[in-house]
Chains A and B, each alone.
Chain A
């Protein structure tokens, strides 16, 4: 355990730690662009410079081993001057077009410039121009003028996602980040992480380009339901104080973007591209109206009808959603499960072209909460066989049930969130809330429990599954 001194204060560094790691772990501040805890050391941005006491030059902290007795200064005059020079150089050919840059507000270059330099450029030369709007893939656009060549994105594709999809071409100040020729980057299921990794506004999401300023949006912690990994994410949506009546209400309540929420136990700082596209799942047309045989009814009537249907049946089967939260699954277990033969339903199965499973994050089970569902309702539905002929009631919770499997005369109760043709055919259809409208927990395949919070209010006429089960059970008992 080497003991080092930062700005005169003694700290205990761990074995084989660098000065950067030891400093950050002990609450000292050192700026950095190219360094990243999960990536190899590149040492090319040079902004993390510190001064070893007694030396007249600055050295980079990210590659400096914390050796016994080392004394470094992070804010000496020399270091301050050095950082200023680096920021002058980095902004030399940078277009400084923050006004139209999606990264503005969370850009390291912007932050450090205000923090360490603050002066306008001392250069009199015209800016050197480079490619703008270079499409690196279907998902990502690159602005080479904003790029500071920290190579975080290159190292990510080599060391984390292993697609080696990005590289540097040309040299010197003509260097450009480019995708390799065999479309490996296009096929990289983790490619969007380079957008978060990019410390400046060089790599931007094409679907989200110019959609929202960072400061108009806020993140809500959530869990990605895309697979059994259950990566923690942040769902960015418009701040309530920035909701504009003039906007289409839909624009005020939409998912602006999804970013990873760092979680060392589950996903580290990464998520896959499917996790970035949760809007494609959550923003499908919603079912907002309770129905009986396709006839609109109010929610209370639908609940009463469901209760009557359950009472009237003898051989009841329930297909429980593996997208239900721990709370909902437990509520079902405590209220209705005793009257049903309950099977766990896999709401989502792998889609064509989707990565089935890999070594980094993606799991073959494309449902977030199979762990709790299988713990409470041990029998898994095999998803293909027809249900026994004597079944006279099927309660389907969530998506992914093929109604052709239900016996011809059986009644059906469907609890769904999205518009679907089968909604109108069910004897009782009750619309239920989705993940972004409620609070809850998922348990991932390793047993880690992660929480999600509501981003948007639930519309009137839509039920929360947890309360719904209680009220169906309550009305049953009241009338029994």
Chain B
């Protein structure tokens, strides 16, 4: 597949995650380079030059986020890696945490140097067991080898890396909720303004970046921001980890250059749809992005400008392939059950709206749908569009509207005939 590999540039073995092997691959060389040969401003400049966008879902340029933090403002700054990878369908950060934990730690130390951070945090999803153990082991190795803690590599730079385990909440993957949770409070998202880069963790400027975004930094430092910018498409440079699941022959995590043809990715790299069936649709980047039909993706490339033009986005890179014959009504039921379960309960539209939509879709699936239900789902989705503190209400609305727009006929059929148009299955091999 892609020629340029930034993250998956080594063979995964039983020991490839250890410090010794990481160093044998040239690990921590970028940290040395940054600490010894570069000023913090130089590191930030390289990151800004690279044009890398956030990989967590919002695609906010990392350089712009960093530029808000003023280095000498006389207050502590914090850095936090968002490893609370909870978006359904997404498991690409898990690959980094399991197989290259030192890459993340090195990246965080470089970022901490650039942002003059004394304490950096990794907030890891509570359900991630092996990734947590690997990361904790890596942190211990890094401390023992003098990469973390006081006077790193003999320089004046000191930074502690703290691994914090979440308790299992989707909303805690939202940056401000993550910080509240890290502070020991209830994981409620916070109101903006103020931005987190102005008042974040413990009311101090805080940069929260996705694991994958951060993990690109060592490569950027080693090869320069200009070199990174040359990978992939100009407006969304670099490579992306895509975790693909669903009705696909070879599910897993793939690294692609942005701008990679989508059709080629699915039919060649991933081996096509399970059982050789037609592709009905794809959820491009986690369930909160709008679904695209099998026809729509034919001409698209895997990068944000291309997907935005099609009315969706790359999101968090958690792709779900859905084969022909899958019941979209039941699919939406699964999604809405998730959003209902995970709403934090802070804002009125999301707290009440998620449960309401879930009860409506449950009723439709139970065969008690009413003709007005589709409009009701549209209406509640609209009430959640941009009206809540965090983006979860919007995400649920997008997912619902995306499916309703494209598969309204299935919903109408289900309501009218009290059964699915397509046998009502989500699983592929049940009827081949």
Q: Which residues of A contact B (CB under 8 A)?
A: 41-47, 49, 57-58, 60, 63, 65, 82, 85-86, 88-90, 92-93, 122-125, 128, 148-149, 167-168, 170-175
Contact = CB atoms under 8 A, between A and B. Distances in A.
Given A57-B386, A122-B376, A43 B349 contact: no
5 contacts: A46-B388, A47-B348, A89-B349, A124-B376, A175-B345
Contacts of B44: none
B344 A46 contact: no
Contacts of B345: 149, 168, 170-175
Contact of B353 (A58, A89, A149): A89
Interface of B: 169, 186, 191-193, 340-349, 351-356, 359-360, 363, 370, 372, 376, 379, 383, 385-389
Contacts of A172: 340-345, 351, 354-355
Contact of A125 (B342, B360, B383): B360
* The 6 nearest A-B residue pairs measured at CB: A175-B345, A172-B343, A89-B352, A173-B355, A43-B191, A85-B383
Contact of B343 (A43, A65, A173): A173
Indicate the member of B192, B359, B379 with the most A CB atoms within 10 Å: B359
A85 B359 CA distance: 18
Contacts of A45: 348
Nearest to A58: B387
B49 to A, nearest CB: 32
Nearest to B352: A89
B320 to A, nearest CB: 23
A52 to B, nearest CB: 13
A175 to B, nearest CB: 4
A149 to B, nearest CB: 6
Contacts of B355: 93, 128, 172-173
A63 B193 contact: yes
A171 to B, nearest CB: 5
Nearest to A33: B348
Nearest to B343: A172
Contacts of A148: 348
A99 to B, nearest CB: 23
Given A43-B389, A171-B344, A175-B345, A92 B356 contact: yes
Contacts of B376: 122, 124
Contacts of B344: 171-172
A122 B379 CA distance: 11
Contacts of A175: 345, 351
A2 to B, nearest CB: 15
B186 A90 contact: no
B354 A173 contact: yes
Given A46-B387, A89-B348, A89-B352, 11 more contacts: A43-B191, A45-B348, A46-B348, A46-B388, A86-B349, A88-B383, A125-B360, A168-B345, A170-B345, A172-B355, A173-B352
B383 A89 contact: yes
A85 B383 CA distance: 7
A88 B353 CA distance: 10
B363 A125 contact: yes
Contacts of B193: 63, 65
Given A43-B389, A58-B387, A172-B345, A125 B351 contact: no
Contacts of A122: 376, 379
Contacts of B385: 57
A358 B352 CA distance: 40
A44 B389 contact: yes
A168 B353 contact: no
Contacts of B342: 171-172
Contacts of B346: 42, 44, 149
A203 to B, nearest CB: 18
A82 B385 CA distance: 11
A86 B343 contact: no
A314 to B, nearest CB: 71
A124 B353 CA distance: 13
A46 B354 CA distance: 16
A431 B341 CA distance: 65
Contacts of B388: 46
B386 A46 contact: no
Contact of A93 (B341, B352, B360): B352
Contacts of B191: 41-43, 60, 63
A313 to B, nearest CB: 69
Given A46-B387, A92-B356, A123-B356, A85 B341 contact: no
A26 B369 CA distance: 49
Contact of A90 (B340, B348, B372): B348
A42 to B, nearest CB: 8
A174 B352 CA distance: 10
B191 to A, nearest CB: 4
Nearest to A90: B348
A212 to B, nearest CB: 31
Indicate the member of B343, B345, B360, B372 with the most A CB atoms within 10 Å: B345
A40 B41 CA distance: 37
A46 B349 contact: yes
B351 A173 contact: yes
Contacts of B192: 63
Contacts of A89: 348-349, 352-353, 356, 383
Contacts of A49: 387
Contacts of A65: 193
Nearest to A86: B348
Contacts of A170: 345
Nearest to B362: A125
A276 B387 CA distance: 39
A386 to B, nearest CB: 58
A44 B348 contact: yes
Contact of B352 (A42, A82, A90): A90
Contact of B356 (A57, A125, A167): A125
A86 B383 CA distance: 8
A128 B370 CA distance: 20
A171 B363 CA distance: 23
Contacts of B348: 44-47, 86, 89-90, 148
Contacts of A90: 348, 352
Contacts of A125: 356, 359-360, 363
A401 B389 CA distance: 60
B395 to A, nearest CB: 15
A82 B352 CA distance: 15
Indicate the member of A41, A60, A82, A89 with the most B CB atoms within 10 Å: A89
A4 to B, nearest CB: 16
A284 B186 CA distance: 46
A163 B355 CA distance: 33
A92 B379 CA distance: 14
Contacts of B359: 125
Contacts of B352: 89-90, 92-93, 173
Given A90-B348, A149-B351, A171 B387 contact: no
Contacts of A63: 191-193
A171 B343 contact: yes
Contacts of A60: 191
A63 B176 CA distance: 16
Contacts of A149: 345-346, 351
Indicate the member of B186, B351, B385 with the most A CB atoms within 10 Å: B351
Contacts of B340: 172-173
A168 B186 contact: yes
B241 to A, nearest CB: 30
Contacts of B353: 89
A142 B370 CA distance: 35
A72 to B, nearest CB: 15
A82 B351 CA distance: 16
